[in-house]
Copies of this chain bind each other. A is one copy, B any other.
Amino acid sequence: MSLRKFEYFLAIAEEGSLSQAAAKLHIAQPSLSQQLRALERHVGGPLFERLSRGMRLTPTGRAFLPHARAAVRSADRAYGVARAVATGDAGEIEIATVSSIAAGILPQVLRTWHERRAGSAVRLHEFHHRNLLEQQVHDGLGDLAIGPRPSSWDGPVLSLGHEEFVVVLPATAAARHPGGVALGDLADRDWVLFGQEHGLNDLVHAACTLEGFQPAPAVRTWQVDAAARLAAAGVGPALLPDNALPAGLDAEVRPARPRLFRELTCYLRGEPQGLVREFVALLRQSPLGLRDHRPEGGRAIGLAPTDT
């Protein structure tokens, strides 16, 4: 049953002698003899022939040898790899997040991460709603979560700064909105909204409700960048986090008025270990490369448990 017996067996096979193997293993010779006997009893036949000046493998022993070696090697590797991961030298981490962040901010961080630690892959889980994210991570999915501040959390929560929500309109509409865009001015437009159970949908609705209207849908989508492109194409205004806008979008992008912010955080179930600790440290150094707009001048949204 014990790996030690395997190692003992290998040592005997290698040395061709019980006593020499015992010396190499730093144990007494009778102990080795005992262990070998036990192993042979378990196998059901002798593994070595006892010659007058040493031990020689029987056919049984020869058959046993390569697999025993493989077992010991695998075990060593298991310990080695696990230790490497535990100390943060290698491994793979799972990040759970909401889709707006996966599409928007994360790529920059992951590029930095990949440059620093080429060996360690990242697995990404995306959710469409902050509540779902929070619940799934709480239930054990992923090693860390990146998303809006969780509503109730007993593990560590690290603030990554705030992202601002912007209104996206066709490029031609630029002149009409030199500063920000008052949401109320768009009350009777048909909007580019998100799917009913998408976190950003709840959020847009909450913002509009505060301005005293319910946005009517021109179209609904589940893709953040699709929403941006639809708005740019003139389907209707969209309200999006600035960091989630696709690069090179041909559109007029203006802060909402009143200004709207959402705090982003990284949260975990427990104290981070190994690679996760490293990743969190990276986040702490450069908070997602986030353009952090202070929420002083504006309204912070996204704190109620029902939005993204």
Contact = CB atoms under 8 A, between A and B. Distances in A.
Contacts of A72: 71
B92 A44 contact: no
A43 B77 CA distance: 11
Given A4-B1, A46-B273, A270-B49, A85 B63 contact: yes
Interface residues of A, number: 53
Interface in A73-112: 74-75, 77-79, 81-87, 90-94
A64 B87 CA distance: 13
Contacts of A91: 59-60, 62-63
Contacts of A44: 82-83, 86-87
Interface in A1-26: 1-4, 6
A124 to B, nearest CB: 14
Interface stretch (A50-58, A200-208, A215-223, A293-301): A50-58
Contact of A92 (B3, B59, B64, B70): B59
A67 interface: yes
A269 B49 contact: yes
A60 to B, nearest CB: 5
B3 A45 contact: no
Given A1-B3, A59-B276, A43 B86 contact: yes
Nearest to A270: B49
A234 interface: no
A230 interface: no
A79 B2 contact: no
Nearest to A275: B59
A61 B51 CA distance: 45
A28 to B, nearest CB: 18
Given A1-B3, A59-B93, A62-B91, 18 more contacts: A6-B78, A43-B82, A45-B82, A45-B87, A45-B274, A49-B140, A59-B143, A60-B82, A60-B85, A60-B274, A62-B92, A64-B82, A64-B85, A67-B74, A68-B74, A70-B74, A70-B78, A71-B71
